[in-house]
Amino acid sequence: MSGWRRKAAGYAGATAAILVLWQLGALAIGSRALPGPVPALTAFATAFWSDLAPHLAVSTWRVVAATALGAVLAVPLGLVLGRSPRADAVAAPLIFLTYPIPKVVFLPVLLVLLGLGDASKIVLITLIVFFQLLVTARDAARAIPAGSVLSVRSLGAGRFDVFHHVVVPAALPDIFTALRIGTGTAVAVLFLAESIGGTTGLGYYIVDAWGRLAYDAMFAGILGMALLGVAIYELLEVAESRLCRWTRVER
C-alpha cells in the first residue's frame, strides 16, 4: 500500500472511531448540549454556505496571516542568534524573560489599542507563533555540529553559503515542527480572541450559537474550527515533505 493510501486509510479509521465515540457519548449523556454527529454534521452542511463559510474565511485569514508574519520575523532572527554568540548573548536575557509570559494576557490591551477587528487577533497570534519559532530556530541553529560548518567552509563557502546549504536545511525540520505546534496553539487562542471581542470568526459563531442555545449550530462551528486546524496541519505536512525530502523515511 502506498504512503498516501495508508494515510487516507488511517484517517478514515480514526474518523470512524471518533464518530462512534461521539455518538456513544451523546447517547450516554442524553443532553441537547451534546448532539450526536448526525445532527451536528447536518447543521454544518446546512449552514456552511449561508452562514458559516464567511466566519471560516475570516478565521482562516487571521491564522494564516499571523503565522506567516510570525515566521518571517522569527525564523531569520532565530537562525542568526543561533549562529552568532555575541548577538545571542545580548538577546538571550530578553528572550528568556519574555518567552514564558502567556501572550494571551495581552488580549485586553490589544483590543483597546487595535480595536475588535483583524489587527488585534493577528498581532496576538503573531506574538505566540513568533516566540515559539524564534526559540526553536535559535536552538536548532546552535545544535548544528561544528564539523558540518567547517567542511563547507573548507570548500570555499562564504557566510551566506553556510546559511543556505547548512544552517537552513539543518534547522528546517525543527522549524516545521514548531510551526505545527504553534498553529495548533494559535487556533485555540483565536477562538478565545474571537469569542471575547468582535462579531466575526468561528469563535464568535460558536459563542453566539451557545448563547442562543442552538447547540447544533454550535457544534457546526466547532467542526469548522476543527477542520481549520486539520487543514493547516496537513498543509504544513505537505510543505515539509516537499522542502525536507532528506528526512523522509520510506516504510
**How many domains is the chain partitioned into structurally?**
2
Cα 251 from Cα 249, distance rounded (Å) = 6
Separation in Å, CA 246 to CA 153, 171, 173: 22, 13, 10
**Each residue's pLDDT tens digit, 11-33:** 788 888 888 898 898 888 888 88
pLDDT band at 73, cuts 50/70/90? very high
CATH number of the domain that residue 191 is part of: 1.10.3720.10
Asked if residue 78 and residue 23 are part of one domain, the reply reads no
Number of Cβ atoms within 10 Å of the Cβ of 237 = 13
Asked if residue 42 and residue 11 are part of one domain, the reply reads no
Q: What is the pLDDT of residue 3?
A: 61
Asked if residue 91 and residue 8 are part of one domain, the reply reads no
- Determine the structural domain holding residue 13 and report its residue range: 1-30
Asked if residue 150 and residue 90 are part of one domain, the reply reads yes
Asked if residue 95 and residue 13 are part of one domain, the reply reads no
Exposed e or buried b per residue across 166-194, where buried means at least 16 C-beta atoms within 10 angstroms of its C-beta = bbbbbbbebbbebbeebbeebbebbbebb
Asked if residue 41 and residue 21 are part of one domain, the reply reads no
Asked if residue 41 and residue 23 are part of one domain, the reply reads no
**Each residue's pLDDT tens digit, 118-150:** 899 999 999 999 999 999 999 988 888 877 777
Q: Dump the DSSP string for 135-176.
A: HHHHHHHHTS-HHHHHHHHTTT--HHHHIIIIIHHHHHHHHH
Share of the chain above pLDDT 70, in %: 94
**End-to-end C-alpha distance for the chain, whole angstroms:** 10
Q: Coil, strand, or helix at residue 214? A: coil
212 DSSP assignment: T
Closest CA to 175 of 52, 28, 67, 250: 67
Q: What is the mean pLDDT of the chain?
A: 86
Asked if residue 3 and residue 75 are part of one domain, the reply reads no
Asked if residue 111 and residue 16 are part of one domain, the reply reads no
Specify the pTM. Answer: 0.85
Asked if residue 61 and residue 26 are part of one domain, the reply reads no
Q: Coil, strand, or helix at residue 201? A: coil
**Each residue's pLDDT tens digit, 154-202:** 767 667 777 777 888 888 889 998 998 888 888 888 898 888 877 889 9
Asked if residue 40 and residue 23 are part of one domain, the reply reads no
